Amino acid sequence: MAEHPGSGDIEPVPNRTKGRTMAGNDLGGLLGSLLGGGGQSGGGGAGGILGSLIGALAGGRGTGAGNGSNPLGGLLEMLTRSGLTDQTQSWVGTGENQSVSGTQIAEALPDETLRKVAQDAGVSPQEAADQIARTLPTAVDRLTPTGSMPEGSLEDIIRQQQL
């Protein structure tokens, strides 16, 4: 195929994807679709925030959440260690999802990770934590329809859940 300079050029995505299989914007788009569209404001909506969070954790740098190609399990483990066991189990389980506050999310995540996610989304760290708190339970619930963490990479799991 011939390239046509100037028509349809794709600008590089500013996300840093060192060692990750999917760019944060791609992952954010998949998560946004999973959450029912992306009509939300602020840095790419809920999917963008969660994509950035998962991407930051997949980088692994000392977060304790690097879990191979499925950093979601590492994130849930991190939240569990922070005292949010009942909440995370409710999201994975088949019952009603328990809520979590932005403050609880902010306390559970490493400061550096939350600052990076907020910067990527163009919001304050507290707003990023609030958006994560609002959307993470639904995302985890939809990614774990059988009540347990599916096998495979996070990208494969997200794609499997597309309707």
Residue 102 has which token pair? Answer: 């932005």
| 98 token code pair | 């328990």
Share of residues in the chain with pLDDT > 90 (%): 36
The C-alpha atoms of residue 71 and residue 86 are separated, in whole angstroms, by 20
CA–CA gap between residue 153 and residue 64 (Å, rounded)? 18
**Average pLDDT score over residue span 81-104:** 95
Question: For residues 144 and 60, what is the distance between their CA atoms, to the nearest angstrom?
Answer: 23
- The pLDDT-based confidence of 150 (bands split at 50, 70, 90) is confident
Q: What is the pTM of this model?
A: 0.70
Q: Could you give the CA distance from residue 85 to residue 77 in angstroms, rounded to a whole number?
A: 9
pLDDT tens sequence across 41-79: 334 466 788 888 888 887 754 334 444 556 788 889 999
For residues 43 and 121, the answer to whether their CB atoms sit within 8 Å is yes
Instruction: Please report which residue ranges of the chain form alpha helices under DSSP H.
Output: 24-34, 45-59, 71-81, 85-92, 102-108, 111-121, 125-143, 154-160
